[in-house]
Amino acid sequence: MTATKSPNVFDLMSLKGKVAVVTGGARGLGYEMMLALAEAGADVACIDILGDTAVVSAQVVAAECKVKSSGWECDVADEEQVASVFQKIVEHHGQIDVLVTAAGINKNGKAFEFTGKDVRKIFDVNVTGTFFCMQQAAKHMIDAGRGGSIVTVASLAAHVFNNPQIHAPYNASKAAVLQLSRCLACEWGPHNIRVTTISPGYFATEMTNKLIGEMGMSVEDTVKTWKSEAPLGRVGTPHELKGTVVFLASEASAFCTGTEILVDGGATVW
């Protein structure tokens, strides 16, 4: 027994009084994670290239969770737009305590089918865009002197080849996100900024629907393969990221940095 009282675990998970920025929060996994952060009490700012959808998604979350929210149109690959939108978010919300970087793109295809433009676009959004947002969030966190939590979104594709789809540039970009996160965890640890990563397995979203379309396979056959690739024998539903993102964003994970959590039904185990 220690002399100091142990904090209650639900208090540790609470994000009341915090402001969380979510990139790619307009839809899909980003939206679901933004909703989770708001349910845990955070005010939220949604950044997305789909500006109108970002505004609507932020409004829906605010109405459901009774928190302050805002939606912002921004291409995360554009350095100036990112700097400007983070400045506006700080002016609007007063602070930034949490960043979740879910904005990302993918393209299916064999290596010889990719043009330089295709490859650069994937790296511009997934890696450079993630980096720009991390840079801006950390800058504001350091200025405020209160630390913070940055949660990046990589993928099981950072570790393994995907089956049956083929998209080497995406996989390499997600491995880069993972290493970027580990490096910045080391660089910003002294500022009490924690950097962690969520790596989802297969989840049904607009991104995966588009991918299946590009592959020319049936949804049934693709999903059957994905199910067979995981010990849990199914694909994920977006709400299955909610607990992980709140854990990593909150004080419940205060001694975790440079950590990755795979939420993949065990798909990378074998």
Ligand X SMILES: NC(=O)c1ccc[n+]([C@@H]2O[C@H](COP(=O)([O-])OP(=O)(O)OC[C@H]3O[C@@H](n4cnc5c(N)ncnc54)[C@H](O)[C@@H]3O)[C@@H](O)[C@H]2O)c1
Q: List the catalytic residues.
A: 155, 170, 174
The kind and range of the H/E element at 198 are strand 193-200
Q: Hey, is 68 helix, strand or coil?
A: coil
* Cα–Cα dist 84/89, whole Å: 9
Q: Is 76 in the site for ligand X (CB under 6 A)?
A: yes
Sign of CA dihedral 143, 260, 28, 103: positive
* Cα–Cα dist 188/195, whole Å: 8
Closest contact distance (angstroms) between CB of 228 and ligand X is 16
Closest contact distance (angstroms) between CB of 168 and ligand X is 14
Closest contact distance (angstroms) between CB of 4 and ligand X is 39
Q: Hey, is 210 helix, strand or coil?
A: helix
With CB under 6 A as the contact rule, the residue among 205, 244, 250, 253 that binds ligand X is 205
Binding to ligand X in span 38-57, by CB under 6 A? 48-50
* Cα–Cα dist 248/37, whole Å: 10
Q: Is 222 in the site for ligand X (CB under 6 A)?
A: no
With CB under 6 A as the contact rule, the residue among 108, 128, 155, 165 that binds ligand X is 155
* Cα–Cα dist 248/269, whole Å: 22
Q: Is 29 in the site for ligand X (CB under 6 A)?
A: yes
Residue with tokens 């010889």: 112
Binding to ligand X in span 134-153, by CB under 6 A? 153
Which is closer to ligand X, CB of 21 or CB of 41? Answer: 21
With CB under 6 A as the contact rule, the residue among 102, 180, 193, 245 that binds ligand X is 102
How long is the chain?
A: 270
Closest contact distance (angstroms) between CB of 206 and ligand X is 4
Which is closer to ligand X, CB of 108 or CB of 205? Answer: 205
What type of residue sits at position 22? V
Q: What are the structure tokens assigned to 122, written together? A: 């994937």
* Cα–Cα dist 50/196, whole Å: 26
Number of amino acids touching ligand X (CB under 6 A): 29
With CB under 6 A as the contact rule, the residue among 206, 221, 237, 266 that binds ligand X is 206
Which is closer to ligand X, CB of 14 or CB of 53? Answer: 53
* Cα–Cα dist 90/84, whole Å: 10
Which is closer to ligand X, CB of 24 or CB of 148? Answer: 24
Which is closer to ligand X, CB of 20 or CB of 41? Answer: 20
Please, are residues 72 and 89 in contact by the beta-carbon 8 Å criterion?
A: yes
* Cα–Cα dist 142/191, whole Å: 7
With CB under 6 A as the contact rule, the residue among 165, 181, 208, 222 that binds ligand X is 208
Binding site for ligand X (CB under 6 A): 23-24, 26-30, 48-50, 74-77, 102-105, 125, 129, 153, 155, 200, 202-203, 205-208
